[in-house]
Amino acid sequence: LYKTHIEQNYKEIIIDNFNNNSSFKINDIIFILKENLNEILDKEKENTETKDVTEDVYKPKKAINSNLNKNYTFDTFVVGESNKFAQAAALAVAENPGKMYNPLFIYGNSGLGKTHLMHAIGNYIEEKHKKRVLYVTCDQFLEDFMGLSRKNNVNNNNLDYMEFFKSKYRDIDVLIIDDIQFLGGATASQQEFFHTFNTLHQNGKQIILSSDKPPRDIALLEDRLKSRFEWGLIADISMPDYEMRLAILRKKTQMEGILIDDDILSLIATRIDSNIRELEGVLNKILAYTSLTHSPITIEVVEKAINDVTLQKENIISADYIQDVVSNYFKIDKRDMVSAKKSNDIAYPRQIAMYLCRTVGQMSFPRIGNDFGGRDHTTVMHAYKKIEKEIKENTNTKLIVESVKTIITNKK
């Protein structure tokens, strides 16, 4: 019992401290009981003598789901002044995975093409090099890691889930993680990712990461991870200029097989200058409208689509706004939302606000934690699950949440 407890709860801590205070590094520890010592040592000796030194630690058990979007390729990626360095670096990595620029760290504001570029690398490597690629968001990595501490996981066996987790994230050739900035503040998850990163890097596996800021600016990220993220190459993607926005629209219409007057495309490229996602959103809205109504694409149709997207952007619900609504509803000081106070009159509204950030605001657990005073994402997950359960079991909580949700969604 003691052996299992130490193995599950202290193994990574021991490895981490050993590596931080030793002249050489270790990747694993074998825990054994004293009475089994000679038997296990003999078995290990036999395995060492017969084992091929090039054999991987983790053997693939089955094909993995790469989670790649096959529509995101280098051919469909429009290159301009704002992204040509990042595209060139991405192509170099795709040609020589694990050998050039490892890790590759791409950063820039949301909606500028980071995700497209990462999927393009993964698709290229899968097709040309036939390697095992895994794409996940940081939110998904945190969810998977949290499974290690949950009860009733795979077969009710934490060791089984640990094997699944390590196989998923280490038994691959290329690991791609989007929005790695959300790892900041997730202390235990950072430790696991540190070991995952080391294992992959030492074995020559390619790591590709994206963020909305460079490594040194990621809040609450451990220095040892920041330094590792800077080992390879850091490439940024900036706002696209007018010529590039117009080229993206032309490329999109060409792929869709639809002819649109250049004056129309020019109007969209001029009015939407923030990011590519909004640019494509306007074009998709126009194409959907004309397809469903069988109407021609006119200036009026375009103006309406632009106004709709602009209004939608203005109506994006923030954690700050949700905190404002909830604190007013419960008549508490808004500053208490991000404070360390744990009394029920503060904790309960705070948990409801966190729940609404997740369900209404569609925010990740780490982001919510950051917006609520730098709390760990596990605290947010606990709040979310607690309110979710209370909504099912407590009519009063259900009515409160629905009332506050109505106020939030009707804010405009």
pLDDT in tens, 126-140: 999 999 999 999 988
User: 180-194 pLDDT, tens per residue?
Assistant: 998 876 778 898 899
- Strand, coil or helix: what is 120? helix
- Taking the mean position of all CA atoms in its chain, how far away is CA 192? 15
Token couple for 96:
């020589």
Do the Cβ atoms of 252 and 276 come closer than 8 Å? no
Among 156-165, 343-352, 372-381, where is mean pLDDT lowest? 156-165
How many residues make up the chain in this entry?
412
More confident: 281 or 310: 281
pLDDT class of 156 with cuts at 50, 70, 90: very low
DSSP 287-315: HHHHHHHT----HHHHHHHHHHHHHHHHT
Rounded Cα distance between 255 and 279, Å, is 15
pLDDT at 93: 96
Mean per-residue pLDDT, 356-383:
87
User: 266-293 pLDDT, tens per residue?
Assistant: 989 898 877 788 888 888 888 888 788 8
Place of tokens 């804010």: 411
Mean per-residue pLDDT, 100-104:
93
